Amino acid sequence: MNDVGKTARCGDASRAIFFGVSSLLFVASAAATLLLCSSMEAMGGTPMPGGWTMSALWAPVCGQTWLDAAVSFAGMWNIMMIAMMLPSLAPALWRYQEWVSGARAARAGALTALAGAGYFIVWLIVGLLVFAAGAQLAAIASEAPALAHTAPAVAGMVVVTAGALQLTAWKARWLAGCAAMSSCCGPARFDVQAALRYGMRLGRHCLCCCGNLMAALLAAGVMDRPAMALVAAAITAERLLPAGGRVARGIGIVTAAVGLVLVVRAVTE
């Protein structure tokens, strides 16, 4: 067998291993997310004025400190992020591994894993900020029933805004940047720091690109399984399908329509 054939076969094996491991990680995180959602449902919540229920996520349960609650939320959040983001992230990480293999073949897998860790560090930081904001809003809602009564309408408006942003040039620019970041020109350096920085750069870009859809998920309920699945599918579709711009606009129209229904329902009940 010539060198070209050996290289091709080695590349095929590496690709199979990479996507096999990614698939196992996705299945494990998705299963863990479903278990966590069931656990949160079993804990129940606090009925609030306006006909909605405040999740137990936003306050320590019996025996917990606020630090315990924040760490618990961050763990659940990152498991959920792996399940939601890995399908759209995996192709970019595979291209990174191909770049690394050309210069640091022996360390390609480890550096790719570090790049993935850098990506999810960004989402971990976001999760901690979400918990802080959610806990504060939950405290305000508990102390001000009049404000709590408006929460369903406000949530609907957040969903409408998230959908409207899908139709803007801002969204198109960030979505186009996803393809640009995964172009043929890889990073100049391949070491631990560079891998982490590259992953964090991917994470920051992803946050800017799909932050509006994540805001819609938070408004609908962060551990709401149907909403989680729909948002994950939307993020993956607009990133990976050939007509990503049109897909994003279609998602925006549907999201805005759902938000309007939520607002109308909130103000008429």
What tens digit of pLDDT does each residue of 203-238 get? 999 999 999 999 999 998 888 899 999 999 999 999
3-state helix, strand, coil in the chain (%, to 5): 85, 5, 15
pLDDT at 183 (0 to 100): 57
CA count, 13 A, side-chain hemisphere, 136 = 6
Tokens of 157: 């408006």
Contact partners, residue 160, CB within 8 Å, separation at least 6: 255, 256, 259, 260, 263
In Å, how far from its chain's centre is CA 76? 12
**Are the C-beta atoms of 165 and 159 separated by less than 8 Å?**
no
pLDDT at 34 (0 to 100): 93
Tokens of 138: 């939950």
Tokens of 215: 């805001």
**Are the C-beta atoms of 26 and 83 separated by less than 8 Å?**
yes
Helix (H, G, I), strand (E, B) or coil at 190: coil
pLDDT at 107 (0 to 100): 80
Quote the CA–CA distance of 147 and 179 in Å, as a whole number: 42
pLDDT at 2 (0 to 100): 52
The residue type of 205 is H
pLDDT at 4 (0 to 100): 43
Residue with tokens 């850098």: 118
In Å, how far from its chain's centre is CA 168? 21
pLDDT at 3 (0 to 100): 47
Quote the CA–CA distance of 54 and 85 in Å, as a whole number: 26
> Which parts of the chain have pLDDT scores under 70?
1-11, 102-106, 180-188
pLDDT at 11 (0 to 100): 61
pLDDT at 59 (0 to 100): 81
Quote the CA–CA distance of 261 and 192 in Å, as a whole number: 48
Domain boundaries, the chain: 3-268
Contact partners, residue 201, CB within 8 Å, separation at least 6: 118, 181
Judged on CB neighbours under 10 Å (0-12, 13-18, 19+), 226 is exposed
